[in-house]
Each structure stands twice: as structure tokens, then as C-alpha cells.
Amino acid sequence: MTLSHPRSHPVAPAPAGVSARPAAVPDFRRLWAADTVSQAGTAVTLLALPLVAIGTLRATPFQAGLLVTCEYLAFLLVGLPAGAWVDRSRHRRVMVAGDLGRAVLLGSVPVAALLGVLTLPQLYGVAFGLSLCTVFFDVAAQSVLPRLVDGERLEEANVRLETTRSLVQAAGPGVGGVLLAVVAAPVALAFDACSYLASALLLARVRRADTGPAAEDVRGPGPGTAGRGDGLRAEIGAGLRFVFGHPRLRAVTLAAALSNFCGTIGAAMLMVLLAGELGLSPLWCGLVFTAEAVGGLLGGLFTARLAARFGTGRAMCGSVLLSGVLWLAAVPSFHADWRFAVGVALQGLGWAAFMPFRIGAVTLRQRLSPPELLGRVTATVRFVVWGAMPVGALVGGLLGESFGARAALWAGAVAELLAVLPLLPLLRSRWPDDGT
């Protein structure tokens, strides 16, 4: 499959009246604020949801892995058509509906717990429903951003979003650990439900994003795209052809998929090891996520400088390799003694090292994709990259059930070093045709 050279699909210029600086765009500020509020609640859920399964409902390692599988399953099941559906929809409405759906789902957990009817099947249903809402929300959000911010400032906007997320997530797990020491884990999920309601209210004020279905209706389909009359299958095919026909997008997508698959093998068992086998309190468990967020914050601050100094290709390749080494070194340090501090530090450093790849991958996709295809391209990437996670979580649960949680962590960390392989052909100092 071949596609036109990326320079034949330039990113659309900013609409009239939009400042080149992301922070000066009112609609971007609202999107930024909504994301920050929802991330604050999500940071609590990151800790609370597995503790509900492990602590309250006494889930086995396999059951805990199955919960993580459900958290990402929708990306595998509806990830591809989601992009075509979002491209046909008003993006703001999709995002608001996603926030409201997540608020209702999370709110059902404390209600069921208070009534004494909470079960693991309900948690699985809530986790799957959250992933379903997140699929559509995330595709719409990434398709919206280039409409709000000048194409030349996309990397700065993505850095702002990722840095703020890391900052909020740095405090969130710590606050969540304190909250969980005071109230039961199911009740703590009500905090996240409220955060999604607040996010929906902020997104309702974003106007520019609600510009209607894809601009193909007015301009006609762009090169390499499918018209809406060609049907859903043709539209999905256009996204697949663009991603896998472009050497850089294909390499970055495969690297991210490998990293997510292998990383989720261990991540699915991390809370089983910490809270289950080691018996650590929610506060101590939260420190791991806090370290990851702090590391992500630091890594986000240096991403643009590293790309400018070493080139995008080298920065992304080094990012994947170094983060994998650091995460591998963290595995033997997770014990209920002084070694735990070393493991937490290495986990955070791993995320700091990974951020140049994470931010660079999103920016590259937004720059290279034609505006009318961005939803489908985003959905295709999410299908491959996030779709690998439920499979990894299931593998992690099976390994944890058979050999123990720590063995699953070792397996995932060793295998994650392979994620650098798809990027090796792209090792060079500069990528001149994508603006870096």
C-alpha cells in the first residue's frame, strides 16, 4: 500500500482570529481546563478501582488482570469504526457525552457498595463502559486540537497538555492514598465521577470544535481518503492505509503497540504485587503512580529541547530504549523495605525518559495527517496501540496466576526492550519534512 508524500497533506492553518500561542486561545484554555479537572479524578480512580477489586472483592491475580483487560477492551473492539463515526459527528458533543457517561458509570460503584450489592461482574462492566466512553472521547479530543491551535504550535500545545496531566497526576495518587485511608475505595470513586461532570461543563463552552462533520462534505474527499458515500468500511480503510502506508507513522505505531503490550503485562500485576502480596497501604501504593507522574512532568519539560538537539528520530528511539532499561531495573526493587524507594525512583525516571516518545508520537500524527482524516488516523493508531493493552493485561493475569505477580513484571519488563526495534530504521539526526 502506498500513499502520497506527507507534504501533499499539510496541516490546515489556524482559523482566523486564533493566536499562534496555545495558551492565548480561549477554546484551548477550556479544553486544557477540562482535561486537567478530569485527570485529577482519574488519578484517584487509577488507585481506587484496582483496590476495590483486590481489597474489597478479594480478586485473584487473574481476576485483577481481567479488570485491566476490560479497562482497554473497547479500543480493540470499536477502535477502528470510532474514528469514522467521530469524523461524521460534532466533536464537542462526543466529548461531553463521553464525560457524562463516565460520570454515571463511576457513580454506580459507590451506590452499589453502599447497598451491599457490588460484585466483580459490575466492576468489569464499569471498566468496559469507561473504556468505551474513553475511545470516543480521546479520538474526538485529538481531532479537535489541530482545529484550536496553529499547526506550528501543536507540539507546544501537546507539551502543555501532557505536562499539566503529569502535574495533576503527581498529586492525585497521593491525595487518593490519603482519601482511601479515610473512606472506602468504592466511595473514593465518587470524586472521579464529579470531576467528569465538571469537565463536561467546561467542554460545553468550547465552540470552535463543534464545526460539524468532517470538512469533506464541503470540499470533497482529500487525497487518499474515502468519501462519506463510500461507506464505513472504506472510511476505516482510508485510516488504515494512511497509517501503515506511511513509514514513520507505521514505525512509531508498531513501537508504541509493543511497548503497551509488554508494559501492560507487568502493569496489570503491579497492584497485585504491592497491595496483595506485599500488603502495602494505599498511601504507599499511590507513591508509585505519583513518581510516574512526576517523571512524566519532568520528561515533558525537556521533550522539545531534546528533539531540537538530537532530532525527533534519535530522541524518540533513545526515549524508548532508556525507559525500558529503567523499568527493568525497577522490578527487583519492589519489596516492603528500603528497596521500595529505589523502585519508586526508577519507575519515575522511566516515565521521564518515555515522554519524548509519547509526546513526539502524538505530534507527528497530528502534523502528518490531513484534517479530514485525522479522526480515522487517530482511531487506527489507538486501535493498534491501545488494543494491545487488553491482550497484555490478559497475558499478565495468566502469568500472575500461574507464576506470581513478580514473574509477570519481569516478563513484561524484559520484553518491553523489544519496542525499540521498529524505530531503528528511522534513526537519523533530523526529519526535515515534518517540520523538526
**Per-residue confidence (pLDDT) for residue 94, from 0 to 100:** 86
Tell me which residue of 253, 372, 375 sits closest to 9, measured CA to CA: 372
> Domain 22-215+232-434 carries which CATH code?
1.20.1250.20
pLDDT at 213 over 70: no
Where residue 66 falls (left for φ over 0; alpha for ψ -120 to 50; beta otherwise) is: alpha
Confidence of residue 309 (pLDDT cuts 50, 70, 90): confident
Answer whether 374's CB lies under 8 Å from 130's CB.
no
Q: What is the pLDDT of residue 150?
A: 66
- Is pLDDT at 208 greater than 80 in this prediction? no
Res 108 pLDDT > 50: yes
Which H helix or E strand runs over 241?
Answer: helix 232-245
CB 348 within 8 A of CB 291: yes
What pLDDT is recorded for position 171?
66
Q: Which of 40-44, 249-253, 331-335, 342-346 has the lowest mean pLDDT?
A: 40-44
DSSP 27-66: HHHHHHHHHHHHHHHHHHHHHHHHHIIIIIS---HHHHHH
What single DSSP character describes residue 22? Answer: G
Average predicted confidence (pLDDT) for the chain: 78
Among residues 369, 361, 400, which one has the least CA distance to residue 158?
361
Q: Which H or E element spans position 145?
A: helix 120-148
Query: Distance between CA atoms of 399 and 406, rounded to whole angstroms?
Result: 9
Q: Which residues contact 212 (CB under 8 A, 6 or more apart)?
A: 90
The secondary element (H helix, E strand) that includes residue 204 is: none
Q: Which amino acid is at 234?
A: A
Percent with pLDDT over 90 in the chain: 27
State how far Cα 92 lies from the chain centre: 19
Cα dihedral sign for 405, 407, 409, 415?
Answer: negative
Q: Domain coordinates of the chain in residue numbers?
A: 22-215+232-434
> Residue 224 pLDDT more than 50?
no
**Mean pLDDT value of segment 58-82:** 87
- What was the pLDDT predicted at 398? 94
Distance of alpha carbon 146 from alpha carbon 224, whole angstroms? 20
